Structure 1
Amino acid sequence: MIKKVMDSVDQYEVQIRYTQIDRKNETIRFTDFDFQVDKNNYFYPASTVKFPAAVAALEKLNEIDSLTMDTQFYIEGDSVETTCAKAISEIFAVSDNAANNRLVEFLGQDDLNHRMQSRGVVPIQINHRLSTPNADEVTTKPLIIYLNDSTTVASAPIINTYPNPIELNKTLKGNGFYADDLLHLDPFDFSLKNYFPIEAQHALLKRIIFPETFPKEQRFNLSQAQHKFLLKAMHALPKDLGYDSEIYYDSYVKFLMFGDSSEPMPEDIKVYNKVGYAYGTITDCAYIHDEKNNIDFMVTATILVNKDGIFNDNAYEYDEIGIPFLAQLGRELYNFELNRKR
């Protein structure tokens, strides 16, 4: 599958960053290897933007004395009661869109972007929620927060700045798209969509997995309990949260190494990751740790699989090309790491 993709690499818009991790005494050294990584070549990040939303929400909670990860709330107009902890678990276990959108209502787009940018997770521009009407509404909905069993308080709506169009290469893609059941024979315009390139995804992953390797101003303000919870959520499998393993098998959202199989994943390999797939673009940002063989590495990779060049037609080659490519890429890097001299 890798050869097939590499033979038509421009068509697939592949970008890959792979990081070797070496330890000497108490120090950790990263060595990055890039293939076609370019923040100026746009790809749609899809659900990978849920990762920064989860991190930013945890950090914001630390600034509000009356709230914790386990404080119950619901969004005005929404009947689902939840907590930030539950939403974050759902985001990583099955990539739940509604859970992400609730965190965006809590944060607002401006605050989410600022928190990432101030820690060196750049470039990033989160403009909209996911798979919901009025996704790009700049004013957030109030949260109805339970202070105790009988007392609630409503948060104030947050008014965010209207996003500027992204001026990058490849924001116009394909040769047609469907809108309101009509086929438009023009490229699909991504210039007002979310922007979260490989460099930024990888930067966030490093700061969460190895915060101690960064200066204090580039670390997120998470408590020890929050950090432990986040790491656990990132590698948890759907069955760990009670999802039906027939539908939500172990590798349901673990594409690198295991995505092309619905068999149980080995217990000694933990994958801390966030995937995204939409509009024919499939991405995985992962830290892979084999506890038995004592190897670990990071890889963030994206591929576009839209052979007919039409967007919104639900005719994408995720299962035929995208996921098998990422799975094989992960295995090739894993086997290389197994034999790499340290």
Structure 2
Amino acid sequence: MRIYNQIVFYIFTMILLICIPSIKVYGKDLDYIIKYDDVVLEKSISNDYILILPNSPNKDVNYSIYYKKDLTDDNWNFLKSDGILCNSMKGTKMGPKTMLFINKTSFNIEDYNIMISCDKVKSPTDNNINDYKKSFFYSPQLEFTIINTDATIFNYKRIFDSSYKWNITLDDSIKDIEDVKVSFRDSQKSYTLDYGIDKDNNNMLIILPPKDGYKLNENYSLKIDVKSSKKSYFQSFRYVSKRDEKWFGEYLKNNVSGTTKNILNNPDDYKLQLLYTEVTRDTNGVPYFDSYSYNMVDENYFYPASSIKLSSCLLSLEKINNLNIKNLDMYSTMDFSQSREVPTRETINSIYGYIKNILLYSDNYSFNKLYEFLGQEYYNEHLKKHGYNNTKIIHRLSKIFDYEDNKYSSEITFLDESGNPIYSQPEKYNSNNLFNTHPTGLTLGSCVQKDFSKKNSSSLKDLQGILSAVIFNDYFKNEYKYNLTHDDLVFLRKYLEKTDHKYLLYGGNPYSYKKNIHMLNKYGMAYGFFIDNGYFYDDTSKKEFLLTAVIYANKNGYLDDIYQYHSKSIPFLKEIGEVVLDYK
């Protein structure tokens, strides 16, 4: 009987080991955050916490949650929420992932290291992270060590072998080993590490662990410096080098069929515009950009719908930083008691909460609150300051405001955690009149004509340039660069990637997402126009590019909410994304 139990235990253990996801670090310009098993900790609207795990829940699986303040602490503790131990929890399905809900706790759980045990109850005295074979892990401390790295290489993965040896794959070859500097320290002291380059094995940088039988302390930092003699600026597509663009349209037409090919062959009928930007990097990870377009004309109007919301996120974070007021940040509570728009539901009254709702759910109410914070005049002046000359934000995304109302922005008071005022912004009014100046495309609809001269507008170049700032802000010329911190950019990247509204490449189907491809995007859809604006990075091929598209599908010509989004727009965007990704 004992032998039988041992065999069953061995088989069960091997199955779980096979199913354990890999540890990974995203590319340098995407995200410095290390995510063990891609566990994400979020705060919900009701201030409860949600742990998102990368596996689909099984009705027979229980979860237990543990925490400790510092990775060097001896013991893990059961997590209590409202006096209840968080063991034997059931996961809730969210697409291909699992959500675990944690009620209010007496401490800020975001500051703690969290372990989620799967299927069995762990002993709180277990403290060797690397022995856990059936658990997920979240650690803000490990994120912190990566944030502070000065590594200039772009894409690398950190992999431990049994000896805690680091195998770090570099994008391109390094001429001399002297061009690399590696330093390592834990909570006690610094160590000298030996390393070399295996040029026959994907140019892998091999870093050996400290000698004398050292055992890895979880609270460590590893720093890699690569000598760089070049510097490149990203220039919001103003002076990006151009080559013959005809190949791009021909390539697309030669690799699609059916409805997609018909749309490409009749671009004016669908008000179609495409902008594709290749990103290539030198041996030091510095990016260079080449842009190609199809049927793109800045003067041809399209209604940008929700695609312009990303600009409000960038400018709101920048405005907070520019104000530079003590204790004022993206998490500060915003009091809109004098607002012209009556709150329609409970929400997180902070820049952080509004941006998160915009990027995850494309929430109109949250955009309107950032519009209030920015004000119409400030919003448009700072778009121009950053070089977006073809974009005008004239109105909130709400039907209760007319042209004159949208010139106003209400008084806002920022409060600290105790409800005391930190900063008050008075009501503002824009005395200037804003109109679209596009010579074509302003009036749409065969039955009831709708004049778009007082509606929001943008261009593909501006939309793509706004998205590119989230990824490449460090490479913008100084006059166009946003005043954003690293944490600001990581925050934006995180939720741009997490949204399930991905139409280029995926057609809006979250179950078709490819694990090796990171897509950060903001879409828009209204009046028959469908826009998707995306950045892509492929872990496998190292292909990196931006792709922005707009298509108008309105067969009867009426603005009657009867549009061919699902039969034409979405399949077109999906196939175009696939074809561009396949381009070598």
In structure 2, the residue matched to 1:28 is 287
Structure 1 pair 209–266 and aligned structure 2 pair: CA distance change class (3 A): same
Matched, 1:5 2:274: no
Contact preservation (8 Å) 1:163, 1:192: no
Q: Decide which moves more: 32-41 or 255-264.
A: 255-264
Shift of 1:260: 5.0
Distance 1:233 1:172 in 2: 35
- Counterparts of 2:426 and 2:416 in 1: how far apart (Å)? 15
- Out of 9-18 and 204-213, give the one that drifted further: 204-213
Q: Equivalents in 1 of 2:516, 2:402: separation in Å?
A: 39
* Alignment correspondent of 1:72: 333
Deviation at 1:285, TM superposition (A): 0.9
Deviation at 1:145, TM superposition (A): 2.4
Q: Percent identity?
A: 28
Q: For the structure 1 residues 155 and 228, does the alpha-carbon distance in structure 2 shift closer, same or farther, using more than 3 Å as the test?
A: same
| Aligned-partner residue type, residue 544 of structure 2 | D
Indicate conservation of the 8 Å contact 2:272/2:549, yes or no: yes
Is this contact kept in 2: 1:45–1:283, CA < 8 A? Answer: yes
Say whether the 8 Å CA contact 1:127–1:163 is kept in structure 2: no
User: How many residue pairs end up in the alignment?
Assistant: 313
Question: C-alpha separation between the residues in 2 aligned to 1:161 and 1:291?
Answer: 49
Deviations for 1:2-31, whole angstroms, at most 9, x for unmatched residues? 112124322100000001111123332111
Contact residue 274 and residue 549 of structure 2 kept, 8 A: yes
The residue that corresponds to 2:567 in the other structure is 320
Distance in 1 (alpha carbons) for counterparts of 2:410 and 2:474: 36
Q: Which residue of 1 aligns with 2:582?
A: 335
> Which one of 435, 438, 442 corresponds to residue 171 of structure 1?
442
CA contact under 8 A between 2:303 and 2:526: conserved in structure 1? Answer: yes
Which moves more between the two structures, 274-283 or 146-155? 146-155
Gaps of 5+ in 2: 1-258
C-alpha displacement of 1:262: 4.7
After superposition, the Cα gap between the structure-2 partners of 1:261 and 1:225, relative to the gap in structure 1 and judged at 3 Å, is closer
- Residue by residue, what CA displacement relative to the aligned partner does 1:200-220 show, whole Å, maximum 9, x if unpaired? 112222222112322112110
Q: Give the CA deviation at 1:176.
A: 2.2
Matched-pair contact (CA < 8 Å) for 2:267–2:295: no
Q: Which residue of 2 aligns with 1:255?
A: 503
**Does residue 188 of structure 1 match 2:457?**
no
Cα shift readout 1:265-295 (whole Å, capped 9, x = no counterpart): 1232211111000010000111011123321
Q: Which has the higher contact order (CA 8 A, sep 6+)?
A: 1
The answer to whether the Cα contact below 8 Å between 1:74 and 1:80 also exists between their aligned partners in 2 is no
Q: Where in structure 1 are there 5+ consecutive unaligned residues?
A: 178-186, 238-249
Separation in structure 2 between the aligned mates of residue 51 and residue 227 of structure 1, nearest angstrom: 12
**Divergent runs of 4+, >4 A:** none
Alignment of 1:11-160 (within 5 A): 11-26=269-284, 27-64=286-323, 65=325, 66-76=327-337, 77-78=342-343, 80-134=347-401, 136=403, 137=405, 138-152=407-421, 154-160=424-430
Give, in whole Å, the separation in 2 of the partners of 1:121 and 1:98: 24
1:211-222 equivalent positions in 2, closer than 5 A? 211-222=473-484
AA partner of residue 211 (structure 1)? N
Higher helix share: 1
Larger radius of gyration: 2
CA-CA distance at 1:154 after TM superposition = 4.8
2:471 alignment partner AA? I
CA pair 94-199 structure 1, distance change in 2 beyond 3 A: same
User: For 1:88-118, what per-residue CA distance to the aligned partner results, in whole angstroms no more than 9, with x for missing partners?
Assistant: 1111111111111110000012111111211
Q: Relative to structure 2, which stretch is displaced further, 164-173 or 298-307?
A: 164-173
Question: What is the Cα-based RMSD across aligned positions, in Å?
Answer: 1.7
Picking from 223, 226, 231, the partner of 2:485 is 223
- Aligned residue number for residue 38 of structure 2: none
* 1:139 Cα offset (Å): 0.8
